A and B are shown apart, each in its own frame.
Chain A
Amino acid sequence: MTPLADCAAVTRTFGPVVAVDRVDLQVGPGEVVGLLGANGAGKTTLIKLLLGLMRASAGQVRLFGRPPSRQTRRRIGYVPQDLGLYDDLTVAQNLAFARSVFGGPAPALPASLRPFAQTLVGALPLGVARRAAFTEALAHRPDLLILDEPTSGVDPLARARLWETIQDAAEAAAGVIVTTHYMEEAEECTRLVVMAAGRVVAEGTAAGIVGDRRTAVVDTGDWAATARLIEAAGLPAVLAGTSLRVPGHHPATVQRALAGPGPGAAGPDSAAAAPPAGPVLARVHEEPATLEERFFELAQQALPSAS
């Protein structure tokens, strides 16, 4: 089957900057592909290439088996980060305008939007404006849906409801590409693509991307003092509730850090036998790394060594 979106070794340069670097990406019907990446990783450029707003410097972008064009754009529903609605038109006027551009049937307003049909978009609460943007993007029954941080700023129940809309579109055989910074959203995707420095650095399910990476977790009653000791040893300590996580490091290494720099403080090199030593009372154990921790590691590895 022809993928809905197909990037083959796509590269886009801006002068000396390589924003997108030999990216391969396929999205098929029913798939929800999450695009993860730090700022500057190349996500926005890749989306512009897919929308046909920008041409590839090298490689090939194909949508529905053809190069991007106005015809392919008609088969895409796009919700940009700032929603792309006209603030000084009402919800109904926005939808009518989109319909005159894309053609297709008049979209039925979902019940939750009906009370706002005659309200200017600029006066809507963000959650309602997001629903309006979704309704507009889906009105022409697009084959490919591109959503840039689709649920930013809404509460968890509203987020779950927006995701139901996205999953409904996927079940109706649309392909979906979602950019997100949040792991809560990443778990909704069937597949994740991690970008860093313009390249795809990991791809697969969240579990597959995390793999067997582990994180040392420090449970402590005094995390402030504990954090200071870990930092002093040059280890990255990330706060999580009242525990501290030290991604990519073995519990024994952390135990040694907690023993402090004092003379004779370092214990034997055995992880299993390491007692909760040191000037702070802390227990160290190991847990699987989170997707965010693995992502951070991938992003750091992709940085040019100069910075």
Chain B
Amino acid sequence: MNAWGLSGVSVRHGRMLALDGVTLAAVPGRIAAVVGGDGAGKTTLLRCAAGVLPPSAGRVRTPGIRQTGYLSPSGGIYLDLTVDENLGFRAAAYGLPAARARERVAEHLDRTGLAAARGRLAGQLSGGMRKKLGVIAALLPGPALLVLDEPTTGIDPVSRVDLWWLIGQAAAAGAAVLLSTTYLDEAQRAGHVLVLDAGRPLAAGTPAEIISAVPGTILLSSVPPADEAQRRRAWRRAGQWRRWEPPGAGQPPGRAGQVVRPDLQDAVVVAALARPAS
């Protein structure tokens, strides 16, 4: 199997290390999600993976610009062109005959409710419609590698279903998909997850692998811990308090029912609490 992606990639912006030794394979037919907050390095990573930004160190493999679909953070859509004009322009940039391009996206437009908006200016579309247009444009070349920078941020759940349908279609057609998100309920849908923090990988694997790699124990309580050190390792979730106890830190919990079986959200919070810098 031919994998694209990053291996040991670092990116330096002046004095700042935006990415620090990151490895992420883009495997055909697989959706990989890059998770992290603002400033974690998601955009830098995806720009490298798409071949737009050369890394300062490490290796990037891409199938080439004509085989790569890339949704940039701004969406890469001209607001003063119509839906059709945007797609026509992008198809021409990929060197696709107009008829073939139209054929390729007809079902996508239809299925995501954009068919009725073909004559509308992109600037008049809702945020969700514009993102869908951006993803459909990225799908035009029938890409071997599809790189999507936060395709669903700020998008309502109904449009999100359409977007995930598009993403699933691309993967089903054999594309290697890399996307970023700030939400874990969304990352949980991916086959592989990379959690980024300050340019460094915090955790990686399938959601199940990340969850089973949680070190120590998570304890549940109805009130926050009084102890200052414990309070720093505690967070509130769904009306209760969870507290992470590192392995070997102290007494294992005595009472039954107090230990939480972590989900991906707990696992990522623990990874953030366990990182050396904090």
A98-136: which have CB < 8 Å to B?
A: 125-127
- Bound together, the chains give a CA A41 to CA B126 distance in angstroms of 13
- Bound together, the chains give a CA A228 to CA B184 distance in angstroms of 26
- B237–chain A nearest beta-carbon distance, Å: 7
A149 surroundings in chain B (CB, below 8 A): 154
Count residues of A near B (Cβ-Cβ below 8 Å): 48
- The reply to whether A184 and B161 form a contact with Cβ atoms under 8 Å apart is no
A214-263: which have CB < 8 Å to B?
A: 223-225, 227-228, 236-242
B157 surroundings in chain A (CB, below 8 A): 36, 38, 181, 292, 295-296, 299
A41 surroundings in chain B (CB, below 8 A): 156
Q: Tell me if B127 counts as interface (CB < 8 A to partner A).
A: yes
A154 surroundings in chain B (CB, below 8 A): 37-38, 182
Which B-chain residue is minimally distant from A152 (CB atoms)? B154
- The reply to whether B272 and A156 form a contact with Cβ atoms under 8 Å apart is yes
- The reply to whether A158 and B37 form a contact with Cβ atoms under 8 Å apart is yes
A58 surroundings in chain B (CB, below 8 A): none
- A51–chain B nearest beta-carbon distance, Å: 21
Q: Tell me if B55 counts as interface (CB < 8 A to partner A).
A: no
Instruction: List 20 extra interface pairs beyond A153-B37, A160-B269, A183-B185, CB under 8 A.
Output: A39-B156, A125-B38, A126-B38, A127-B38, A154-B37, A156-B269, A157-B268, A160-B236, A167-B236, A187-B237, A223-B172, A224-B173, A239-B167, A239-B168, A241-B189, A241-B206, A241-B207, A295-B157, A299-B157, A299-B158
- The reply to whether B235 and A241 form a contact with Cβ atoms under 8 Å apart is no
Q: Mark A286-304, 1 if CB is under 8 A from B, else 0.
A: 0000001001100110000
What are 24 pairs between A and B in contact, CB < 8 Å? A125-B39, A126-B37, A127-B37, A149-B154, A152-B153, A153-B38, A155-B35, A155-B36, A155-B182, A155-B272, A156-B37, A157-B269, A163-B236, A167-B236, A181-B156, A183-B185, A184-B183, A224-B171, A224-B173, A228-B172, A238-B189, A239-B164, A241-B188, A296-B158
Count residues of B near A (Cβ-Cβ below 8 Å): 50
- Bound together, the chains give a CA A154 to CA B42 distance in angstroms of 12
B164 surroundings in chain A (CB, below 8 A): 238-239
- Bound together, the chains give a CA A39 to CA B155 distance in angstroms of 8
Residues of chain A whose beta carbon lies under 8 Å from any beta carbon of chain B: 36-41, 81, 125-127, 149, 152-158, 160-161, 163-164, 167, 181-184, 187-188, 190, 223-225, 227-228, 236-242, 292, 295-296, 299-300, 307
